[in-house]
Amino acid sequence: MSKLKVFQVVFDHPQGVHFAGQWLRGSVLITLTEPMKMRDISINLVGKAKVHWHTYQNKNRKDYRSEEVYFDEDIVLYGDGNESSTLAAGHYEYPFEFLLLNDLPSSFEGEYGYVRYVARCTIDRPWKFDHVTKAAFTVLGALDLNREPNCWKEPYELSKQKTITCCCCESGTVEANITLNKRCFVPGETIFINGTVTNNSNTSINRARCALKQYVQFTASSTGLFGPGNPHTKNVTSYEVKVEGEMIRAGQVDVWRNVPLLVPSLPPSRLDGCPVIDISYVFKFYVEVEYSSFKIETPIIIGTVPLSGMFSGAPATLPAGSGVITAQPTAPLMQEDRAGQSAPPAYHSLPAILPTYEECVMGKVQIRDEKDSEHVRGDLNWAPMYTMYQFSSLGTVQPMQISEETEEPN
pLDDT, tens digit, for every residue of 112-150? 999 999 999 999 998 888 999 999 999 999 898 888 877
Q: 205: alpha, beta or left, given left = phi > 0 and alpha = psi -120 to 50?
A: beta
User: How confident is the model at residue 310, as a pLDDT?
Assistant: 58
The list of the chain residues with pLDDT below 50 reads 311-340, 345, 348-352, 393-403, 406-410
Residue 375 lies in a domain: no
Residue 393 lies in a domain: no
The answer on 351 and 315 residing in a single domain is yes
The answer on 217 and 131 residing in a single domain is no
The answer on 304 and 168 residing in a single domain is yes
Residue 212 lies in a domain: yes
β-strand 131-140 against 17-19: which pairing, if any? parallel
Question: What is the torsional sign of CA 222, 225, 227, 230?
Answer: negative
The answer on 259 and 188 residing in a single domain is yes
Bridge partners of residue 302, in order along the sequence: 185
Residue type at position 344? P
Residue 399 lies in a domain: no
The answer on 157 and 12 residing in a single domain is no
User: How confident is the model at residue 83, as a pLDDT?
Assistant: 80
Boundary (domain end) residue, out of 312, 328, 357? 357
Structure confidence by residue, pLDDT tens digits, 337-358: 444 455 554 554 444 456 789 9
**Strands of 156-166's sheet in order across:** 156-166, 169-180, 190-201, 253-262
Spatial distance between the Cα atoms of 152 and 264, rounded to a whole number of angstroms: 19
Rounded to 5°, the CA angle 105-137-73 comes to: 75
User: How confident is the model at residue 164, as a pLDDT?
Assistant: 79
Supply the range of the domain harboring residue 158.
Answer: 145-357
The answer on 151 and 134 residing in a single domain is no
Residue 406 lies in a domain: no
The answer on 160 and 230 residing in a single domain is yes
Spatial distance between the Cα atoms of 53 and 113, rounded to a whole number of angstroms: 8
The answer on 86 and 187 residing in a single domain is no
The answer on 91 and 190 residing in a single domain is no
The answer on 237 and 345 residing in a single domain is yes
Residue 271 lies in a domain: yes
The answer on 163 and 135 residing in a single domain is no
Q: Residue 292 belongs to a domain with what CATH number?
A: 2.60.40.640
Residue 384 lies in a domain: no
The answer on 160 and 97 residing in a single domain is no
Boundary (domain end) residue, out of 311, 330, 357? 357
Boundary (domain end) residue, out of 140, 167, 195? 140
Residue 171 lies in a domain: yes
Total domains, the chain:
2
